[in-house]
Structure 1
């Protein structure tokens, strides 16, 4: 698990749930540079454990295809926990049917991989305090 950065004001925290270390690291560096506090998890189970032991993030960036617990299982687990269900979830996926899958999962938003930086930042601004 990637440590939480101490940079950035409260309300600008993001949990990145992505099994590809390089993608997770690149997103973390980008968001930290933009002033976000970032934590990362390599799979859904790590993310659930993190969420149950730390303050809630303002948003979650969620990959769908991961080992141990995939994005679908993670989202289901999240929806069954009243303390976590209201966290905005942004699906990130290369899957062409990501819009349909995100809607079925009750996700707040979705982004197609490769992720466009401006689209990512604009989407996060909707859920994170300035």
Structure 2
């Protein structure tokens, strides 16, 4: 019996970028859940098993990515969830393990993801 590919949770408010990132990650063999903002991501996390990696855009219009990361730090079941921030700034949050600086290319994205998650194919 084969295992399911690891699930990545993506938080990105720009629908074109979100769709492009999902396409790239799916092509690499990952399962991807995508949300538009931190509130949607938190609802997804409450309803599903913990993903293998959280990719989060830190500068959404609602600025709720910070609240999402604060909430994750308070919840023991997410203590080991790696967080890769997608950002054009230098901001840091204690939950962030890596920052993918905008603009970035496909290889930089995949190299960052591979540091935390290995696809099955």
| Alignment TM class, shorter chain as reference | 0.7 to 0.9
Unpaired runs of at least 5, structure 1? 1-8
| Structure 1 stretches of at least 4 aligned residues deviating more than 4 Å after TM superposition | none
Describe the SS at the equivalent of 1:92: strand
TM-score, normalised via structure 2 length: 0.87
Describe the SS at the equivalent of 2:85: strand
Of 70, 81, 86 in structure 1, the residue corresponding to residue 80 of structure 2 is 86
What is the aligned partner in structure 1 of residue 103 from structure 2? 114
What is the aligned partner in structure 2 of residue 14 from structure 1? 8
Name the CA distance, whole Å, in 2 between partners of 1:113 and 1:91: 10
1:76 lines up with 2:70 in the alignment = yes
What is the aligned partner in structure 2 of residue 34 from structure 1? 28
CA offset at residue 12 of structure 1?
A: 2.4
Name the CA distance, whole Å, in 2 between partners of 1:14 and 1:115: 18
Higher relative contact order (CA 8 A, sep 6+): 2
TM-score, normalised via structure 1 length: 0.82
Name the CA distance, whole Å, in 2 between partners of 1:10 and 1:112: 29
Once the two structures are superposed, what CA deviation does each residue of 1:83-104 show, in whole Å capped at 9, x if it has no partner? 1232100000122x2xxx23x4
